[in-house]
Amino acid sequence: MNRYIEEAKNIILSQYPEIAQHKTCMLPEILLQEGTIAQYIYYIESGILGVSTHNSETADDKIIAFFEAGEMVFSCNGIINNLPSILSIKSLTKCDLYVIDKNDLWRVTDENSRFYELIIRIDNYSLYKIIQNFVDMSHNSPMERYKKLINTHPNIVKSIKNKDIASWLNVTPTYLSHQIKNKLFKN
């Protein structure tokens, strides 16, 4: 997938550099609030963003996916259908991003059919990541998911707070800390 993201980034930076605004996010910064209509897509140069949903009864955010350097994230419903997002996007570490306004995105897709194809592929990949997390959650224990995260994305485990990992695992931060302390989550 990264080749499609890299190709999309190269089209923007080489042919439309004026639309890619650089942004540095501090921790935590909400880029898209659940219930609002997305205005931007984000290419992550460095750092980690989390996609989450908010539980109004517990006032907790539930992280359902991580996106890291070299990936793009956006709310397809907001960008394409102009509908409120059902998810939030926030920084989990300090991030350097390229931010592209959705009006500029549409201009580029009108002018460049390959870019349009890439955006559709990237959106499908993002949706796949979110669905895969739900499948993993229903088939694997938190320990198995944590080990998989360590093996496939060690940078995430090293870079973000345990409370955010616990949210993604669907366990409490206390439970995760206890498991780590007792080395139950070690490889």
- Which domain covers residue 185, as residue numbers? 140-187
pLDDT tens profile 65-81: 999 999 999 988 888 88
Same domain, 73 and 48: yes
Return the structure tokens found at 183: 């080395």
pLDDT band at 28, cuts 50/70/90?
Answer: confident
What is the C-alpha to C-alpha distance for residues 83 and 171, in angstroms, rounded to an integer? 31
Same domain, 119 and 66: yes
The residue type at 71:
E
Local structure of residue 38 (DSSP, 8 states): P
Same domain, 76 and 145: no
Same domain, 122 and 147: no
Q: Choose one of 139, 160, 176: the last residue of a domain.
A: 139
* Closest among 151, 138, 146 to 176, alpha carbons compared: 146
Q: What is the average pLDDT across 37-49?
A: 96
Higher pLDDT pick, 182 / 139: 139
Same domain, 83 and 130: yes
- Contact status, residue 37 vs residue 26, Cβ threshold 8 Å: no
- Percentage of the chain with pLDDT > 70? 94
Q: What is the average pLDDT across 19-48?
A: 95
Same domain, 100 and 66: yes
Give the up-direction half-sphere exposure of residue 80: CA atoms within 13 A in the CB hemisphere.
Answer: 9
The reported pLDDT for the residue numbered 27 is 85
pTM equals 0.90
Domain count, the chain: 2
Domain CATH for 31: 2.60.120.10
Same domain, 27 and 85: yes
Same domain, 38 and 111: yes
Same domain, 122 and 154: no
Q: What is the average pLDDT across 82-107?
A: 95
What is the C-alpha to C-alpha distance for residues 29 and 10, in angstroms, rounded to an integer? 26
> Beta strands 30-32 and 40-46: pairing type?
unpaired
Same domain, 73 and 147: no
The reported pLDDT for the residue numbered 35 is 93
pLDDT at residue 55 tops 80? no
The reported pLDDT for the residue numbered 84 is 94
Burial readout 70-100 (b: 16 or more C-beta within 10 A, e: otherwise) = ebbbbbbebbbeeeebebbbbbbbebebbbb
Q: Cα–Cα distances in Å, from 117 out to 62, 121, 123?
A: 31, 6, 10
The residues facing 46 across adjacent strands are 96
pLDDT tens profile 143-187: 899 989 999 999 999 999 999 999 999 999 999 988 888 865 555
